[in-house]
Structure 1
Amino acid sequence: MSTKRILAVMSEYGYWGIELVGPLRKLEAAGYTFDFVTPKGKRSPCLPPSRDTTYIDPPLGVCVTTPTDKALVDAFEASGALDATLNLSQMFPERPYVSRPDFLRELEAYYEARKAAQAAAIETYDAILLVGGSGPIIDMVNNQRLHDLVLGFHAADKPIGAICYGVATLVFARDFNERKSLLLGKHVTGHCIEYDYHDGTGFMGTDLNMGPPPYCLEYLLADAVGAHGQYHGNFGKGTSVIVDYPFITARSLQCSHEFGDRFVDVLSKGMKRSGW
């Protein structure tokens, strides 16, 4: 049964404005409403370059924030929609360390609590959206609770959308026992190496300049899909959006609006494959 609700997962260290607002406005126009969640419930800050129409993206050598996109993001930020951000750590349990003295009993309790949390999320939402930007590198990509959310939607065969570095979460979201990639045999896109910074990968709330990203997402995705899947960088093309159900993946900010269109197609028109 459709609830017409989507859960957008965001980083507490910064999201790229249009990578949320682009798909959000398309989905809202199709009748969907949104809830927002971060790992610990702190409001996700908007990365300043994503609201700066003079910012020149180093790899691309052009301004990537259009006046129209800035206006959309500014209006969203002013709406207060993120003031009611949910706390993922209160929705999903933490898996215990194997060093815990009563590990087996705690692991059994964890699985029961996880099952209930997944069922609640699946009943409440039609899909999840993993929002991009640099922030996800810190607190989304290797977040066990977020992995469990993704695993729940994957098992329920419900849509999972991800853009930019939000896509990296899909590489690491694996069953704790099987440890196999959910992306095996799938077609996906994501931040290609040509788009990676050489320097300046930064985060909100910290002065850390990581330099380049700590990993090459293209290589991770190319390995995760295995011999029978494919990573599509589509470098040189203006956009790259791939639907291989239940996954809807988008390369970067330029794809935000098209990403929203394909998300609507999946939810409203039953699209299962697009982009390759």
Structure 2
Amino acid sequence: MPKKILFVLSEYGYWGEELLGPVDACDARGYETVFATPTGKRPVALPPSLDPGYLDPPLGRSVTTPEVAVAARALDESARLDNPLSLADWLPERPYFSSENHQRGLEAYYREVDRVDEDVLAYDAMVIVGGSGPIVDLCNNERVHELVLAFVRADKPIVAECYGVTCLAFARDWDDRASIIRGKHVTGHCKEYDYKDGTGFVGVDFNMGPPPFPLEYILRDATAPGGRYHGNVGRPVSVIVDYPFITARSTPDSFLAGRKLVEVLESGLRRYGW
């Protein structure tokens, strides 16, 4: 049977290449791809990510080639993304401590967590697609965190790109509250590449200005002690493999991240880039 890869996307805009790169790698190997969003709404690419004329402000140049723009648009407009799974329907939500019958609710929650552990055995890996959208509905989404923890418990690889890496930093067992990337080596959106203005989202008429948090600082803190954040500023690509995590800094790293996922699955790769 072909390997089965779960792609998690924001409903507020993903970056085209950051979906295209891993999907292309999976398609080339004949893997089955399954897509999911927080509430089952169809994901949509951020318009600048489909525009080869868009100049990335921190880099001062286009980050999307004409070829990638055409391919990413074709994927974005295809029927493949039409009916994503709903994480809200699939994963439980931890009850408030102030909720009525909290103890019974917590017991039910953990029964559902056990069911999710069984569900993820059907998948071989997960990809958290980047872009600015994840800031809104993936980064601090407890259901996403629970899914990440389930994949970690199952010892299955997780690709996280750009702001999607935040999900790894925030995914924590409630018993010790330590990040699952503590002691790990990761990359992610570096401070030098942060926007000063123009952080935007699909479906929301709101310019946040700069991103609400500097991801580099979060990753530096979350990986300590014993781990390390790698920004690789100035280098064309930045992808780190520290099994089970495959992290990608930003847009140009997406195709390499996809290839490294294949190497992890097919060749047993456990370390790369550090």
Match of 1:99 in 2: 98
SS, match of residue 7 in structure 2: strand
Quote the residue 1:200 is aligned against.
Answer: 198
Do 2:17 and 2:72's aligned partners in 1 also have CA atoms closer than 8 Å? yes
Aligned partner of 1:101: which letter?
E
**Structure 2 equivalent of residue 182 of structure 1:** 180
Displaced runs of 4+ in structure 1, greater than 4 A?
none
Query: What is the aligned residue count?
Result: 274
Q: What's the CA shift string for 1:100-139, capped at 9, x where partnerless?
A: 121111001100011102211x222101000000000000
Question: Contact 2:2/2:32 (CA < 8 Å) preserved in 1?
Answer: no
Secondary structure at 1:11 match in 2? coil
Match among 238, 258, 275 for residue 273 of structure 2: 275
1:199 and 1:212 in contact (8 A); partners too: yes
**Could you tell me how far 1:208 is from its partner in structure 2?**
1.2
Which residue type is aligned with residue 12 of structure 1?
Answer: E
Deviation of 1:80 after TM superposition, in Å, equals 1.1
TM-score by length of 2: 0.98
Deviations 1:14-58 (A, max 9, x none): 000010111110121112111100000001111000000110000
Q: What does residue range 84-95 of structure 1 map to in structure 2 within 5 Å? A: 84-95=83-94
**Quick one: distance in 2 between partners of 1:208 and 1:118?**
37
1:16 is aligned to: 15
Stretch moving more, 77-86 or 93-102 = 77-86
8 A Cα contact 2:139 2:170, kept in partner: yes
Aligned to 2:72: 73
AA matched with 1:205: G
Identity %: 55
Structure 1 residue matching 2:77: 3-state secondary structure: helix
Q: What TM-score do the two structures reach when normalised by structure 1?
A: 0.97
Give, in whole Å, the separation in 2 of the partners of 1:132 and 1:118. Answer: 24
CA distance in structure 2 between the partners assigned to 1:104 and 1:54 by the alignment = 55
Corresponding position of 1:257? 255
Q: Secondary structure at the match of 1:167?
A: helix
CA distance in 2, matches of 1:131, 1:77: 13
What's 1:157 paired with? 155
Residue number among 123, 133, 151 corresponding to 1:125 in the alignment: 123
Structure 2: stretches of 5+ with no match in the other structure? none
1:134 to 104, 129, 132: 132
- In 1, the alpha carbon distance for the partners of 2:199 and 2:189 equals 13
Do the aligned partners of 2:17 and 2:254 also contact (CA within 8 Å) in 1? yes
Residues 44 and 76 in structure 2, CA contact (< 8 A), matched pair in contact too = no
The separation in 2 between residues aligned to 1:154 and 1:50, in whole angstroms, is 30
Q: Does 1:51 align with 2:34?
A: no
The DSSP-based 3-state class of the residue aligned with 1:249 is: strand
Aligned twin of 1:39: 38
In the TM superposition, residue 3 of structure 1 has moved relative to its aligned partner by 5.3
Q: Does structure 2 conserve the Cα–Cα contact (< 8 Å) formed by 1:3 and 1:125?
A: no
Equivalent residue of 1:84, what SS?
coil
- Residue 64 of structure 1 is matched in structure 2 by 63
* Corresponding residue SS for 1:129: strand
Is 1:168 equivalent to 2:155 in the alignment? no
Unaligned stretches of 5+ in structure 1? Answer: none
String of CA shifts for 1:155-205, please: whole Å, max 9, x gaps: 111001100001010011101222111011100000000000000001011
SS of the residue 1:89 aligns to = helix
For 1:184 and 1:25, locate their aligned partners in 2 and report how far apart those are by CA, in whole Å: 31
Counterpart contact for 1:3–1:124, Cα < 8 Å: no
